[in-house]
Amino acid sequence: MTAPGRFYQVSHLDALEAESIFVMREVVAEMERPVLLFSGGKDSIVMLRLAQKAFAP
């Protein structure tokens, strides 16, 4: 239990991750057939992991 006046603080990376997941979900909601291009590089792997977090059951 937290004391009054104390708030949960989200780290900078957690906030960026949440925003990225939000953007991915918005794109999927707006587009008919969205695509995620995958090259196997580190950027693609990060995007794939974000997509897993956004859409995994």
For residues 48, 50, 52 and 57, what is the CA-based torsion angle, rounded to 10 degrees?
-160
Q: How does pLDDT run across 28-55, given as a tens digit for each residue? A: 999 999 999 999 999 999 999 999 999 9
Q: How does pLDDT run across 4-18, given as a tens digit for each residue? A: 667 778 899 999 999
Helix 42-55 vs helix 12-30: crossing angle, to nearest 10: 70
Q: Which two tokens stand for residue 8?
A: 């949960």
Q: Which two tokens stand for residue 40?
A: 């196997």
pTM over 0.95: no
CA distance 30 to 17: 20
